[in-house]
Structures are given as structure tokens and as C-alpha cells.
Structure 1
Amino acid sequence: MNDVMPSMVPGFYRTHTGATCAALLRERLQWFWPDLRQQKILGIGYATPCLEAWRGRGALCVSALQPDYVLDGERGELPHQDYENILCADPALLPFQDDTFDRIVLLHAFRDEAHAMTVLRGASRVLRDDGRMLLITPSQWCGRLRQRRTPFAREPAFGARALGRIFDQTMLHTERRDEVLFLPAQWGCRSLQFGQVTDIAGKVLAPGLGSLSLIEVVKNSYSMLSMPVQARRRVWRKRFASVPEGCGKVPPPQS
């Protein structure tokens, strides 16, 4: 899987199409979590446009940008300089204490399956036990193909099996799902109203075929990590291996 072009992500949300796409995402995020007053929210990857859904509404919003998304590498400038709580941080080494945040939003945060596990483990560490995370990723069914002129075209599209492996290894559990962008962004994001209408029509006429999947997950502290298959094979061979002659016999009683 090719990495997302760093300069493409911030630049996309500066266009009319990107701004409308972010507005549609914020609308769905508010449907998931309508009232987050007095709560702490963390954005990982490039989730700053989504955090505007709760900014200024009584919630503390913090954006942890991946180092690749820092603009102007020579001067080290961050996008959204007017955002008061923004920092550059490796998602695997977030500079926060354990159990700090009530909600976490992940957008443009994954490069591949292994990287997704690393990011989610780091996010789970700073998430409270009763907290919730929301993953925004391209859907498996032509999500990247339809959004080929956006940053989503270069992101991994996880299927049900891949997501199952990721959540099992990171001890997470799916709570709710939603989807947006049933048309290419150049068409569906011409205006917010048009995007809302096409998304509603898509959910009625073609459910499951949205370009972007929104997956809400919670911690599954009581889940059991599966044992490696190789380890089970070694146990099987050891248990049923042939016993050398003379071993295991009970010696006769001495007189």
C-alpha cells in the first residue's frame, strides 16, 4: 500500500471539495456523539477538520498530527495555526498519560494493517476504559476508486476479515457503523446540501456502498488474544510424538 502524499492531505481540506467533505463528516460525527461537553477529545492522523464539530461547545479538543502532515518541512510549520491545541506526534508514542481522553477520532491515520494495529494500541492507551474511538477509512467496495482524486485513494481499505484481525489484536470491539460519500467527492461535495441529499439517497438505494466507513469501537478488556497457530502445532506434536522404547515403563518392585 502506498503512503498518502503528505502535502495532499492538508491541501485537500483547503479546497471547496475538501471543506464540504469535512462538513459532511462532522455532521455524521455529531450523530454519533451529539453532546461532549466537559469531555476530552483527541484527533489522530489528520482529524483537525473533524474536531470542529465540538470545538467551542464545552469540549477540550486536541489534535495530534502525524509528522508526515506537517507543512513546510524547513520551517516545521503546522497547519491550522489558529488551532489552540495542536501538536505533532507519532501515534505510537503519544505524549499523554494513560486514560486521558473520553473520545478519539482517527482520520488519515493508517498506512497498512500492521501500522493500524500500532496506532490503535497507542490510542487505546490514552483512551479511558469507558471511552470510544471512531475510525474513518475508505470502504472495501470501490471506496478508493471512487475517491481517486482525494487523499482517501491512497489509504488502505480494510475488509471485514482485516478489521476483525486488527480489533482482535488491539482488544477492541465494534459498537456502531455508518457510511458517507456515495458519489465521487468532485460530484457529491459540490455543496453541503447536495452531499446530504446524495448520502441519504445512497443509504436507501445502495446501503453498504458508501465510499467512507465510520466505525465506532470500544475497549474489549475481557477479550482473549488468540494463540499462534505454530504454537498449537508444537503442542500437538509433543503430545502425540512417539515414545522411545523403554521410556514410560514402570520398574518392577524390588524384593
Structure 2
Amino acid sequence: MCYLSFMWLDVVDLNGFYRSQLGKVARHFIKQQVRQIWPDVAGQTIVGLGYATPYLKQFEKEADRTLAIMPAQQGVTHWPREKANRVALSDEAALPFDDYSVDRLLLVHALENAEHVQQMMREAWRVLAGNGRMLIVAPSRRGLWARRDISPFGMGKPYSVQQLKLLLKETQFDPQQEARALYMPPSHSGILLHSAPVWERMGRQWLPRMGGVVMVEARKQIYAATPARRVTKRRLVVVPSAIRESGSGP
């Protein structure tokens, strides 16, 4: 089996997936798990990295600020719809935030495609507040979704929970909670989509490690030293008005 890595998906393809029925079903089950891990975000600053906007909307009325960063290689889309834009382009290894300025960092369609994983994780550590939390959502090595290119979860490098925990520990994070989602086979079949809740319930009960997506939450090690390799390049943010837009995302 060959996995594609170091290839950011185009924002047009990501938009198209989340507007499809399969994408809507996937978003529903992943969003449930994200909310279960982060039940209370009142007054906090939440940043999504990669293509996290489908999962940020649920926090808008509670969080102090919800922002999204999309990698330059991926492209950008306006979000939220019919409101002032809160999305910008940035290098994955040079996030446009001050040190200790982000309370929650949500990585979706990010880690599996990143070319500079260690640098991205160091930047995540830098921008997170002392009690900050990061949640990684990534395709599972064991699941069916990583084995088909029918969705964005079939692109890039899939991870196991243990691989994510090891990466987090290596980059000065303490793994906390873990979760899985997407037990239904990745298919546009109407029958499968209609029975998705049954697949999800049965999968959690009988094959809990076979979810198509793995999630690991981690907290910043506040006793750790600042990562030695700091990004020295200028942190530029390109706003959507200065580039080609592909239309509003989910």
C-alpha cells in the first residue's frame, strides 16, 4: 500500500468533499467527538490549522475568538459564510500568532500532509498558552478510510494512536484523551450513508480500534524549555482578498 505524503490537498477539493453527503456524514461524527473532548471553551481563543473550519462553527457562540489558518500550499477559502473573514494563509512552520496566545489548537487535515512536521509541532508549542490544549485529528492506519482516496482522509500519512502519542512526547506535549470516529466504510452509497449511525454504534462496541479517524488531545508541557529551533523567518499572513478565492467553505 502506498500513502501519499507531503502533499497539501487543494482547498477546492476539501470544500467539495465537505459539501458532499459523505463529507457531511463524516463531519457529523467527527464533530461529535471533538465536542466530547472539548465540552467547555467559554472565553477561549480557538485556532484551527489545516482545514478545520467544518469543526470550528460549533464553538463560535462560546469561544472568545475562533480563527483558522490554512497552509499556503493548500489555498484559502472565506469563512464563516456571510460574516467577516477569519481565515488567513500561513506557512505551517511560521504561525502568525504571539507566544502563548492560543488556548485551543485544532489540527484537521494538517499533520498527515505536513512537510515539516517537527517544525509545525514546535510552532504549536510556541503559540499555545501555558494551560493550552491541542487536538489532532488524523486518518487511522487501521481504518478503511486511509485505504481509499475517496476522501481527504485517504491522502497523506495515516497514524496510529501510539504514533501520535510518541510524536507529541517528542515535541514536548503530554498526551491526554484519545478518541476514534468513522466506522462506516468510505462510500457514496446511499444505503451505507443512511445506515451510518448503525455502523458507528456497532464499530464502537465491537471494533473500537477500527475507526477511520484517530484523535489525540495533548497539553503543553509548561515545565519544558522553549524548543531550540525557533522560526526566524518573518511571519506573513496573506489575507484572502489578496489571492484567488474558491468560494465559501462549510
1:213 equivalent in alignment to 2:214: yes
Q: Secondary structure, in 3 states, of the residue corresponding to 2:98?
A: coil
1:24 equivalent in alignment to 2:29: yes
Larger radius of gyration: 1
1:180 is matched with 181
1:40 equivalent in alignment to 2:41: no
Residue 30 (structure 1) shift:
1.1
Residue 79 (structure 1) shift:
4.0
User: What is the RMSD computed on CA atoms of the aligned residues?
Assistant: 2.6
1:190 equivalent in alignment to 2:193: yes
Letter in structure 2 aligned against 1:16:
Q
Decide which moves more: 3-12 or 58-67. Answer: 3-12
Matched residues in 1 for 2:47 and 2:221: separation?
A: 20
Per the alignment, do residues 223 and 161 of structure 1 end up closer, same or farther by CA in structure 2, a change over 3 Å counting? farther
The answer to whether the Cα contact below 8 Å between 2:106 and 2:136 also exists between their aligned partners in 1 is yes
Deviations 1:141-174 (A, max 9, x none): 1444455300111121123564354223311121
2:20 is matched with 15
Matched residues in 1 for 2:113 and 2:79: separation?
A: 26
Letter in structure 2 aligned against 1:32:
I
Per the alignment, do residues 11 and 79 of structure 1 end up closer, same or farther by CA in structure 2, a change over 3 Å counting? farther
The answer to whether the Cα contact below 8 Å between 2:60 and 2:66 also exists between their aligned partners in 1 is yes
- Of structures 1 and 2, the one scoring higher in RCO (CA 8 A, sep 6+) is 2
Matched residues in 2 for 1:63 and 1:189: separation?
A: 32
Letter in structure 2 aligned against 1:45:
G
1:166 is matched with 167
Per the alignment, do residues 184 and 147 of structure 1 end up closer, same or farther by CA in structure 2, a change over 3 Å counting? farther
Per the alignment, do residues 146 and 101 of structure 1 end up closer, same or farther by CA in structure 2, a change over 3 Å counting? same
Deviations 1:8-48 (A, max 9, x none): 22221122221221122211111111121111100000001
1:62 equivalent in alignment to 2:63: no
2:120 is matched with 119
The answer to whether the Cα contact below 8 Å between 1:144 and 1:154 also exists between their aligned partners in 2 is no
Per the alignment, do residues 196 and 32 of structure 1 end up closer, same or farther by CA in structure 2, a change over 3 Å counting? farther
Per the alignment, do residues 57 and 113 of structure 1 end up closer, same or farther by CA in structure 2, a change over 3 Å counting? closer
Letter in structure 1 aligned against 2:70:
L
Per the alignment, do residues 79 and 220 of structure 1 end up closer, same or farther by CA in structure 2, a change over 3 Å counting? same
Structure 2's unaligned 5+ residue stretches are 226-250
Query: Could you tell me the TM-score, scaled by structure 2's length?
Result: 0.77
Matched residues in 2 for 1:185 and 1:47: separation?
A: 20
1:80 equivalent in alignment to 2:79: yes
Matched residues in 1 for 2:192 and 2:175: separation?
A: 28
The answer to whether the Cα contact below 8 Å between 2:146 and 2:155 also exists between their aligned partners in 1 is no
Q: Secondary structure, in 3 states, of the residue corresponding to 1:56?
A: coil
Per the alignment, do residues 214 and 147 of structure 1 end up closer, same or farther by CA in structure 2, a change over 3 Å counting? farther
1:237 is matched with none
Matched residues in 1 for 2:167 and 2:87: separation?
A: 28
Matched residues in 2 for 1:42 and 1:79: separation?
A: 15
2:205 is matched with 204
The answer to whether the Cα contact below 8 Å between 2:146 and 2:153 also exists between their aligned partners in 1 is no
1:103 is matched with 104
Letter in structure 2 aligned against 1:219:
K
Matched residues in 2 for 1:174 and 1:183: separation?
A: 27
The answer to whether the Cα contact below 8 Å between 2:145 and 2:186 also exists between their aligned partners in 1 is no
Residue 115 (structure 1) shift:
2.5
Matched residues in 1 for 2:65 and 2:19: separation?
A: 24
1:141 is matched with 142
